[in-house]
């Protein structure tokens, strides 16, 4: 199973983000756009994990004390800006509590024998992949985003599955904060 731990968002936040996905879909020459139900911020990507190890991941998610987190969604940006096929995202602002939560959770996951990517934690919400958008529309999209705050009240252990019509993310376990 292909697994990751994510900050999920309520429908109000997802609806607000979906408007930006809709803009991309309407104005991009091409791209793969994230459905509303798949909008999330990855906290830890685990990759392929044997189903027999899921209980250990649940235990790791229960272990650290984590309060609900207030996060700020700051801006829309793009990876790979100089070339077509950009990944568009909404950034999650710097937050010491979020960084601390990530470290504690990463430690608990690694204690149980899982390998975690060592790159710096830069939380974001992907809106679309392989997106070709002209410079004028890119500027319009990034300028129309207004930063806002939301509370993250849970973390989800998600399975990523290829289904007809695209990738589907399904929670296997939800940890209320």
At 72-81, the pLDDT tens digits run 999 999 987 6
DSSP reduced 3-state for 85: coil
Q: Which residues pair with 91 in a beta bridge?
A: 124
Q: Which residues pair with 152 in a beta bridge?
A: 69
| pLDDT, position 164 | 82
| pLDDT, position 83 | 62
**82 pLDDT higher than 60:** no
Closest by CA position to 105, among listed 70, 138, 79, 69: 69
Mean pLDDT of 84-107: 94
Q: Which residues pair with 33 in a beta bridge?
A: 128
Look up the CATH architecture of domain 2-176: Alpha-Beta Complex (3.90)
């Amino acid at each position: 199973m292909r697994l990751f731990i994510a900050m999920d968002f309520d429908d109000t936040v997802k609806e607000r983000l979906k408007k930006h996905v809709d803009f991309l879909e309407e104005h991009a020459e091409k791209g793969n756009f994230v459905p509303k139900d798949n909008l999330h911020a990855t906290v830890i990507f685990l990759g392929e994990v044997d189903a027999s190890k899921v209980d250990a991941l649940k235990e790791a998610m229960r272990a650290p004390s984590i309060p609900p987190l207030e996060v700020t969604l700051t801006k829309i940006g793009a990876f790979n800006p100089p070339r077509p096929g950009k990944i568009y995202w909404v950034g999650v602002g710097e937050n010491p509590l979020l960084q601390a939560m990530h470290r504690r959770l990463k430690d608990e996951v690694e204690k149980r024998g899982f390998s975690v990517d060592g790159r710096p934690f830069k939380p974001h919400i992907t809106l679309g992949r392989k997106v070709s958008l002209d410079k004028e529309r890119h500027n319009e999209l990034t300028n129309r985003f207004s930063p806002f705050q939301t509370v993250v009240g849970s973390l989800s252990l998600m399975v990523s599955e290829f289904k007809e019509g695209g990738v589907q993310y399904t929670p296997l376990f939800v940890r209320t904060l």
